[in-house]
Structure 1
Amino acid sequence: MNPARRLKSNQLTGILTALVFSCLALNALPARAGQPSRIAVIGGSLTEIIYALGEEDRMIARDSTSVYPEAAKDLPDVGYIRQLSPEGVLSVNPDLILALEGFGPPEAAKVISQAGIPVVVIPDGYESTSILAKIHATAKALGREQAGAELAEKVAADLAAAKAVASGRKDKRRVLFLLSVQGGRLMASGSQTHADGIIALAGGVNALSGFDGYKEVSHEAVIEAAPDLILRMRGGRDASSDAEVLAHPTIAATPAGKHGKVIGMDGLFILGYGPRTAQAARELSEALYKSSPASGD
C-alpha cells in the first residue's frame, strides 16, 4: 500500500476510535451535569414515579416497599421504610436520598439526615391531590420539572375519570379493610389512611370511620359495621388465606362473610398512592359493584 494512503487510513481509524470512546464516555456521564446520579429511594410510590419519569438509571438502591416495576427488585434493598438502618442506607454511597414522609424510625431518620448527604423528604397524603403533589416534588428533586408536569397531567386525568365512575355508583357499598386477622384479632382501617382514600375513590364507603389510622377493633364493631366486602392487602405480613378470613366467626356474621365477598390486592398497588392509583380504584370498584352482594360471586 502507498505509504501516504496507509497514513490516511491510520488517521481515519484513529479518528473513528476516538469518536467511539468519546461516545462511551458521554454515556457514562450523568444524564444532567450537576444533578444527582446515585439516588437511594425510600418509598415504593417514589420508585414508581421515577420509573414513570424515565429516570431509573439514576437509582442505585431502594427500600423493600419498592417492588414495582419488577426491574426495581434488581437494585440493592436497604430495608423497610419504617425500620431502616442508617448504616444500610449510607453504605450504598448515594449522592441523594429521596424519602417518603414518615420514613424511619425517627432515630434512624435523624442520623441519615445528619450524615452530610442531601435528603429530600417527599410529602405524603390520603387525597388524590397528594399524588400529584408527590409527582411534582419528586420531579423537582430530579431536575425534571417539565416531565413531572406532563406526568402529573396524565395522572390527574386518570384520577378524574376514576372519580367520575365512583360518583355514578348508586347504593354505596360498605368496605372493611382488614390489615390483619392474625391470632384472631382484627386490625382494620379507620379514617385518614390510604385504605380509606382508595375505598372512597372506588365509590365505596369505609365501613369503619369512627377512628383515625389502623387499630385493633372489637368483634362487635365489625358486626355493627356490616361490610359488604372485605378488602385485604396481598403481600403483607398477614399470610392468612381468604378462606381463613371468611371462617373467622366475626367476619362470617357480616354480609361480606355470609356471601363470601373478600378480595385481596397488592399492597403497593392500592395503598402506594402513585401513578397507578386510578387503575387500582377502577379495579376495586369493579370488584365491589360487579354483582349484588347477595349473589355470592
Structure 2
Amino acid sequence: MSGSYDRAMHSAPVQPNRRELTVSALSLLALAGLGPVAPALAQTPERIVVAGGVVTEVIYALGLQERIVGIDSTSQFPAEALKDKANVGYVRALSAEGVLSLKPTLIMLIDGAGPPDAVSLLTESGVRIARIGDGLTPEGVASKIAAIGTAIGAAAPAERLAEQTKARFEELANLRAGIAKKKRVLFLLSLQNGRALVGGRNSSADAIISLAGGINVADAIEGYKPMTDEAIAAAASEMVLMMRNSSAHNTTPDELFAMPSFSQTPAAKEKRLVHMDGLYLLGFGPRTPMAARDLMASIYPEAAIPPLKTAAAP
C-alpha cells in the first residue's frame, strides 16, 4: 500500500514479487557497518530507496527519478518505475538486506512501511531516513508532496507541484458543490470465500468517495473489514467500486450481482460495478484530484462531469 493504497492492499492476499532482492544475513551485517566507507558514499550522487508508491510518483513528477535506485512493489506509477528500478519488496514486508545492498544515502518510508524489525535495522545502519506522513485530505496531500520535496532537496519545485494539486482540489470542490443529491457507494476490496471485505470510515476508500461527492455506505465499519450479507443488502448501495486487478481475474457485474446480498441492492438494477486502478484511486498523491473527478463521473453519469481544467497545467 502506498500508504493509503498500501493499507487497502494489505487487507488482501499479497503475492510475492519475483524481482525482490535477497541478500545473505552476513551481507546485512557488512552493509549495516557502513562507518568507514560513509565519506566515500557521501561524495557520490544521492541514491534514494523508496518504500511507498506515492513517494515514487511524486519524485517522478518532479523529474528527479534518476536519483532513485530502488523502489517497493507498490510503486506502480509511472509504469517504467518497476521496470527500471531495483525492487526491494512489498512496502510492509521490506527486506533490510535488500534495501542496504543498494547502498542508499536516503531511505524514504511512507507511513506504515515495515516490518518494524526491518525498519529498526535500517535505522541502525546510519543511513538517513525520511518518514513521510500519509494524509487523506487535500491539505494532507499537499503537505505530503512538500515533505517529499524537502527530503530530497527539491523544496521549491515540490511546493509548485503542491500548489498545482491544491488548485485541482479546489476545482474538484466546485464540481462537488454542484451535486444536488448524493448517491450511495460501496467500496469492495475483495471477495474471499464469499465474504465481502469493504472500506469503512477513516479508510482511503472512504476519503476518495467523499472527495468524489458520494456517500460511503460502509461508514459503520472502521477501516477495511468484512461486511455481512445482511448489512450489504441493508446499505442499499447505488454503485459498487472495486480496484482493477491487472494480473488476476476481475469480478464481473454478472458475478457480483448474482450474489444474494448484492442482488438486493439498487446497484443491481443496472449492474453498477466500476473498476479503477488501485494506486490512481487510493494513492493520494498529485493525481488524486483527477481520480476523484473520474470517480465522480462514474457515480453521476447523468451529470456529465467535465474534466478538470487545471489538470492541463504544466
Counterparts of 1:142 and 1:97, CA distance in 2: 10
The answer for the alignment partner of 1:244 in structure 2 is 255
Counterparts of 2:200 and 2:301, CA distance in 1: 25
One-letter amino acid matched to 1:282: R
- Out of 257, 267, 273, which is 2:278 matched to? 267
Counterparts of 2:288 and 2:153, CA distance in 1: 24
Would you say the 8 A contact 1:36–1:142 is kept in 2?
no
Would you say the 8 A contact 2:244–2:250 is kept in 1?
no
Would you say the 8 A contact 2:185–2:217 is kept in 1?
yes
**Deviation per residue, 1:210-267 (Å, 9 max, x gap):** 1221001111111111111100011389744223223222111111123200001010
One-letter amino acid matched to 1:101: D
The answer for the alignment partner of 1:54 in structure 2 is 63
The answer for the alignment partner of 2:97 in structure 1 is 87
Would you say the 8 A contact 1:181–1:238 is kept in 2?
no
Would you say the 8 A contact 1:35–1:142 is kept in 2?
no
Count of aligned residue pairs for this structure pair: 260
Q: Are the structure 2 counterparts of residues 121 and 149 from structure 1 closer, same or farther at C-alpha, using a change threshold of 3 Å?
A: same
Structure 1, gaps ≥5 residues long: 1-32, 293-297
1:146 positional shift: 0.8
Q: Are the structure 2 counterparts of residues 236 and 167 from structure 1 closer, same or farther at C-alpha, using a change threshold of 3 Å?
A: farther
Counterparts of 1:100 and 1:35, CA distance in 2: 25
Counterparts of 1:271 and 1:36, CA distance in 2: 32
Partner-residue secondary structure (3-state), 2:302: coil
Q: TM-score, normalised by structure 1?
A: 0.83
1:179 positional shift: 0.5
Is 1:153 the counterpart of 2:163? The answer is: yes
Alignment of 1:22-171 (within 5 A): 37-74=46-83, 75-171=85-181
Q: Are the structure 2 counterparts of residues 61 and 161 from structure 1 closer, same or farther at C-alpha, using a change threshold of 3 Å?
A: same
Counterparts of 2:164 and 2:44, CA distance in 1: 25
**Deviation per residue, 1:112-135 (Å, 9 max, x gap):** 222211110100122121110100
Which stretch has the larger CA shift, 162-171 or 186-195?
A: 162-171
Would you say the 8 A contact 2:105–2:127 is kept in 1?
yes
Counterparts of 2:170 and 2:163, CA distance in 1: 11
Counterparts of 1:93 and 1:235, CA distance in 2: 33
Between the aligned residues of both structures, percent identity stands at 41
Which stretch has the larger CA shift, 117-126 or 101-110?
A: 101-110
Q: TM-score, normalised by structure 2?
A: 0.79
Alignment of 1:159-198 (within 5 A): 159-198=169-208
Partner-residue secondary structure (3-state), 1:291: helix
1:110 positional shift: 2.0
Counterparts of 1:100 and 1:231, CA distance in 2: 25
Which structure would you say has the larger RCO, counting Cα contacts within 8 Å and 6 or more residues apart? 2
Would you say the 8 A contact 1:81–1:103 is kept in 2?
yes
1:205 positional shift: 0.7
Partner-residue secondary structure (3-state), 2:202: coil
Counterparts of 2:265 and 2:175, CA distance in 1: 27
Partner-residue secondary structure (3-state), 2:86: coil
Counterparts of 2:244 and 2:99, CA distance in 1: 26
Counterparts of 1:34 and 1:159, CA distance in 2: 40
Q: Structure 1 segments of 4 or more deviating over 4 A?
A: 33-36
Structure 2, gaps ≥5 residues long: 1-41, 304-314
The answer for the alignment partner of 1:17 in structure 2 is none
